[in-house]
Structure 1
């Protein structure tokens, strides 16, 4: 009796299970399971999880990154570069919280803010070849106005404020008898703007004054200052800190000329400027200029060395000169004389001297100017761009005559250079060195177009020895668009040997 009940209970359970199975089979046959909508987050192409809502996640970011929003004064912070959020459909209903995904991102990437990437492409001299290279600088700003204001401030560092404002307004007076006017202002760099999401680990400029400093000095480091002493002048301070006067004035815009007065304990900037852009200013000027008289020496073979008589005094001439000058970052690079009208001719002084000595020995009391007149000295015997320029750079014009500064013997006459080959002869280009056989004096004439003398030749004071050119390392580098760029004479004077101690050539005149 017990066994019959056991089998009867088992049959009943089996029937219930089978019936339930049949019911579920019929039920689910008529029910469709829908896939779920999620948002998959990718970091550099790799999935790091799913979230329910893209907007909810972005709102979460902006709550967590409130400090960044306050720092940059923005309303929205964005996901980092390399983060993508894609809508997906899946049967897997498991998702991550916004906090979990946020933590995975923050461990690897910095969040971004909307701004502008400024790209500056500049030409720089190559150390390994004669060709110029390009240098690319990326600057990040929150708005284009920050960069535009900073660039204008940089331009104003190299241009007189009143002239600049008149140039922009088109109210410059036409130059007639004398004066100057700006013909053009340009930035000789390729500058492009691109709206972008900027990672907050980059330097992002929000202030135009800070960016102005960076564009002028090439760094955000604190610049060196100097406390003025009683005996100081602008020229002496500039020279002792490897600046020329113009560079000092640019770094200290409250001063307008080398003659401005200083006071004891005054603080001045002596940091070396290294502009990130090249500000090119073309200036038209007209003015009266004195032309120095020359000294003609006549030799009397009947008189001994030491005899000297002035038979006519000299008088300077006066000329009305029109120039087209170009400045790059405040440095004069060319000064073409477009016209020169004689107002009063120069009268040369005439000296008669005894001639009983070797003609290849210089007379150190009288030196001839090495170029035609009028001329422009573009760089003096001074610091320039952080290094000492131990000669004069003189500009007249391409192909103009170069003269021996005094009697002597040519000890070097090195050619073989063409314009544009900046490393030719170590950057000297075609050059001549003359030994004057007196007082240990030597003179050097560099960047020549043609050489008209040879080694061992005796040359006389004022004798034409070459023509002005632009071979070797000159600025700007000659090109097919500017074949005469960089034309000038580098005129140096050494004592002791051809590699001796440089002296200021102007001290000889």
Structure 2
């Protein structure tokens, strides 16, 4: 028993002796001030001098200073340095900690970050979807770079002179006819703040590159075309699935579409896909022709091959004031706010023989340019706001007619049978009607507010079939009129209404 007690006492004495005499443990006799370095929450180690560590980052990253023209380089965004007091002598060299982070996370420099916030879903280059409220951030060296880039982007759609005149309040006032820009703005919310930006980001150093990025939605090299003798911009645009407006936006060096091109000129034929929406509203006053009516006088004593114009028709003139909203160069909405008659039209009177034929005595509107086989589908005045052309890289297979007003009447352009009716307003075409005219032609009426006919119903030329609206994928009240030779989307060929059944 005494032996066990003696052994226990000896164990305690030895332990105490080891404690006071020390073992091979790195503890300082006094706590020392050091800095714990963290990267993204993980401990990297202790260093003696925070100042020396930060100066080393700045010194060692000389290449970054030269690349961006800055005086100082800062630690990565996830780096945190905290002062602590410890007895631990396991202190690392500042160089060792620097080497452990330099290839893990990007360093930072002073710059600016622009934040673009969208109110609606935006699709860039057909594959990049930006959801509402989710910002796009762009890094740059100065806030003036963004301001200049936004100006260049707006000028691409509006024109530098027009934009300068608007900003300087030097636009010519409208006397009889003319136009004036009322407002210019971006649809998105754009803010710019100063701060540290990651050198892993694309950091724009000039407004030219940034304006290209805002215009095309990418930094990829854009497709170009070298002109040949005798070519024109219209042909180049069509060959590259662009409309002439898109081509000229991408090539501001050309101010007119009918410019004479020399051989060897480099033309940008990339499809624009803007990151921002340039909106401008303008008031335009212009004179438009009012199409005359044709009245037939039936002469029962003459054969049906007789036709004589007894009164020559003359178009009238109306002066219209229209308020137009453009988004990235395309008409988004158009409202005719005022109409003034300058000259009344003179109706054409035609005497025709009806011997061995039934008398009709009908009266109808000429279509534009006097095509007597087809009637115009809307009331007058009207404005064609988008034509049969390439638009956003796809063929716009019809014409858009605006300015007649919401729920204004839509008429059948010729006799026929209602081939198809779509009542689903959520589809891209919205409420729509298709009429088979029995001669190989089918006409299409889209984005309607109301449908007044049924599938299989026989309709007459100029019969009211619908009301103008903005259902489906539509930016404002208008009628999309399509003309097909054969069944639409089933082997039929889309035709330009202004070249096939009208001259407009």
TM over 0.5: yes
User: What SS class does the counterpart of residue 335 from structure 1 fall into?
Assistant: strand
Task: Name the structure 1 match of 2:24.
Answer: none
1:407 matches 2:410: no
1:147 matches 2:143: no
Task: Name the structure 1 match of 2:63.
Answer: 67
| Aligned residue runs from structure 1 range 163-182, under 5 A | 163-182=162-181
CA distance in 2, matches of 1:388, 1:135: 30
| Aligned residue runs from structure 1 range 19-168, under 5 A | 33-122=29-118, 123-124=120-121, 133=132, 136-168=135-167
Query: Please, which of 383, 390, 399 is the counterpart of residue 392 of structure 1?
Result: 399
Q: Aligned-pair distance for 1:39?
A: 0.9
Task: Name the structure 2 match of 1:467.
Answer: 467
CA-to-partner distance for each residue in 1:286-323, whole Å, 9 max, x for gaps?
Answer: 12222233445567789877654434322111111111
CA distance in 1, matches of 2:219, 2:412: 48
CA distance in 2, matches of 1:448, 1:89: 76
CA distance in 2, matches of 1:312, 1:497: 40
CA distance in 2, matches of 1:407, 1:221: 51
Distance 1:333 1:351, change over 3 A: farther
Task: Name the structure 1 match of 2:382.
Answer: 375
Contact 2:117 2:132 in 1 (8 A): no
The runs of 5 or more residues in structure 2 that have no matched partner are 1-16, 22-27, 361-365
| Aligned residue runs from structure 1 range 48-447, under 5 A | 48-122=44-118, 123-124=120-121, 133=132, 136-296=135-295, 308-351=307-350, 356=357, 366-396=373-403, 397-417=405-425, 424=426, 426-438=427-439, 440-447=440-447
User: What SS class does the counterpart of residue 453 from structure 1 fall into?
Assistant: coil
Q: Aligned-pair distance for 1:134?
A: 5.2
CA-to-partner distance for each residue in 1:79-113, whole Å, 9 max, x for gaps?
Answer: 10111011111112331111100011113111111
CA distance in 2, matches of 1:306, 1:124: 60
Distance 1:298 1:502, change over 3 A: farther
Contact 1:294 1:368 in 2 (8 A): no
Task: Name the structure 1 match of 2:449.
Answer: 449
User: What SS class does the counterpart of residue 268 from structure 1 fall into?
Assistant: strand
CA distance in 2, matches of 1:133, 1:208: 26
More deviation in 408-417 or 104-113?
408-417
Q: How many residues align?
A: 457
CA-to-partner distance for each residue in 1:111-130, whole Å, 9 max, x for gaps?
Answer: 11122222212222689xxx
Q: Aligned-pair distance for 1:503?
A: 0.8
CA-to-partner distance for each residue in 1:168-189, whole Å, 9 max, x for gaps?
Answer: 1122232121211110001000
CA distance in 2, matches of 1:133, 1:35: 54
Larger Rg: 1
CA-to-partner distance for each residue in 1:154-199, whole Å, 9 max, x for gaps?
Answer: 1111112222112111222321212111100010002122333222
Distance 1:446 1:71, change over 3 A: same
Distance 1:497 1:33, change over 3 A: closer
Contact 2:230 2:262 in 1 (8 A): no
Task: Name the structure 2 match of 1:7.
Answer: none
CA distance in 2, matches of 1:350, 1:54: 97
Contact 1:124 1:135 in 2 (8 A): no
The runs of 5 or more residues in structure 1 that have no matched partner are 1-20, 26-31, 418-423, 476-485
CA distance in 2, matches of 1:495, 1:301: 37
CA distance in 1, matches of 2:144, 2:407: 46
1:504 matches 2:503: no
Contact 1:178 1:287 in 2 (8 A): yes
CA-to-partner distance for each residue in 1:15-68, whole Å, 9 max, x for gaps?
Answer: xxxxxx9xx99xxxxxx9531111110111121111111111111111110000
Q: Aligned-pair distance for 1:356?
A: 4.9
Task: Name the structure 2 match of 1:495.
Answer: 485
Q: Aligned-pair distance for 1:336?
A: 1.3
Q: Aligned-pair distance for 1:326?
A: 1.1
Distance 1:135 1:290, change over 3 A: farther
TM-score (norm 2): 0.85
